[in-house]
A = this chain, B = another copy of it.
């Protein structure tokens, strides 16, 4: 057996055909006779031939690889979205290259460059919390490579397709739910407003307060990154001394869980004395007791819509150059549980 990976040249030699014919046969070109195609396919099998996608990508300027830049694959929302994305892309014959930023802006820049280097056919991005400058993606737009942002998207205008959940509505529903349940003093744990998610949820919170004629008090709103550490620190601060809030809208579930556990440890009874709403419908919220009311984002739908949008862009590539697409906003849903 030959020692090197077999190529179409090997097949051509074995069958005494030209490499052009072999290439066409393998690509099911209409002008190649069925007999030849069959022979070629059989020989290819016998030699365990696999197309070298580097060579074919280089020549044909098409790699069938899609890049995905994402903060952390292990977060519930993203893990679920990835699954949907990968499945759908695979159906259409694409592979997925995943890069993880760990919410580092520098890493995001590096990854964008690396993705371009490997000539992905398209790129999907959920940016870091701190990305406000998106110019590292210019190389994609300039070279007309389809680019979609999903979930974490540019706050200011950037010429690329955007798919995101309806965070304003989510924030509004969550806060309204607390208000309707009788809460008078609703605190909000937001994240940095540089991120569209928190900005929109916060806006929903503010408007819901106004609608229900509840006071907005800035000492009950927090804008730190929603790490467990920060959550615990703020929980301590909130419950250091009365008056306590009687409702909390936390902009993510991890934070909601920590708040709940901390309040419980202080003997505060939930939902009687304190109501809590989280965001994302992380599996843990269903299991903790009392189970936490939260906002379902349908990460799989978001992922699928993002892929749809990307495929659409790839189809129309070249034509609609520079055309501005309007953002796609996906539905959210309040999941009512015992905590509120």
**Could you mark each residue 70-85 of chain A with 1 if its beta carbon is under 8 Å from any beta carbon of chain B, else 0?**
0011101001101100
Cα A98 to Cα B83 in complex, Å, equals 11
Q: Is the CB of B87 within 8 A of A79?
A: no
Cα A116 to Cα B63 in complex, Å, equals 14
The stretch from A47-55, A197-205, A211-219, A323-331 touching chain B is A47-55
Q: Is the CB of A118 within 8 A of B65?
A: yes
Chain B neighbourhood of A53, CB < 8 A? 117-119
Known A50-B117, A117-B51; contact A86-B57, beta-carbon cutoff 8 A: no
A194 within 8 A of B: no
Name the residue of chain B whose CB is nearest to the CB of A52. B119
A52's partner among B51, B58, B72, B74 (CB-CB below 8 A) is B58
A132 within 8 A of B: no
Those of A124-178 within 8 Å (CB) of chain B: 139, 143
Those of A17-72 within 8 Å (CB) of chain B: 48, 50-55, 57-58, 63, 65, 72
Which range contains the number of A residues in contact with the other chain?
A: 35 or more
The stretch from A242-250, A265-273, A281-289, A304-312 touching chain B is A281-289
Chain B neighbourhood of A54, CB < 8 A? 54-55, 57-58, 63, 118-119
A230 within 8 A of B: no
Please give the distance in Å from A318's CB to the nearest CB on chain B. 11
Those of A259-306 within 8 Å (CB) of chain B: 283-284, 287-289
Chain B neighbourhood of A80, CB < 8 A? 74
A102 within 8 A of B: yes
Please give the distance in Å from A58's CB to the nearest CB on chain B. 4
Please give the distance in Å from A257's CB to the nearest CB on chain B. 7
Known A54-B118, A117-B50, A117-B51; contact A83-B72, beta-carbon cutoff 8 A: yes
Those of A88-121 within 8 Å (CB) of chain B: 90, 95-100, 102, 107, 113-114, 116-119
Cα A171 to Cα B58 in complex, Å, equals 50
A5 within 8 A of B: yes
Cα A51 to Cα B96 in complex, Å, equals 20
Q: Is the CB of B100 within 8 A of A87?
A: yes
Chain B neighbourhood of A99, CB < 8 A? 86, 90, 95-96
Chosen A-B contacts, 12 in total, with CB atoms closer than 8 Å, are A50-B116, A50-B117, A53-B117, A53-B119, A54-B55, A63-B118, A73-B79, A90-B100, A97-B98, A287-B288, A288-B289, A289-B289
- Give A contacts to B, CB under 8 Å: 5, 48, 50-55, 57-58, 63, 65, 72-74, 76, 79-80, 82-83, 86-87, 90, 95-100, 102, 107, 113-114, 116-119, 139, 143, 257, 283-284, 287-289
Query: A-B pairs with the 10 shortest C-beta distances?
Result: A74-B79, A54-B58, A53-B118, A50-B117, A54-B57, A86-B100, A287-B288, A53-B117, A98-B98, A79-B79
19 more A-B residue pairs beyond the given contacts A53-B118, A97-B97, with a C-beta to C-beta distance below 8 A: A50-B116, A50-B139, A51-B117, A52-B119, A53-B117, A54-B63, A63-B118, A65-B97, A65-B118, A73-B83, A74-B82, A90-B100, A95-B99, A95-B118, A96-B99, A284-B284, A287-B288, A288-B288, A288-B289
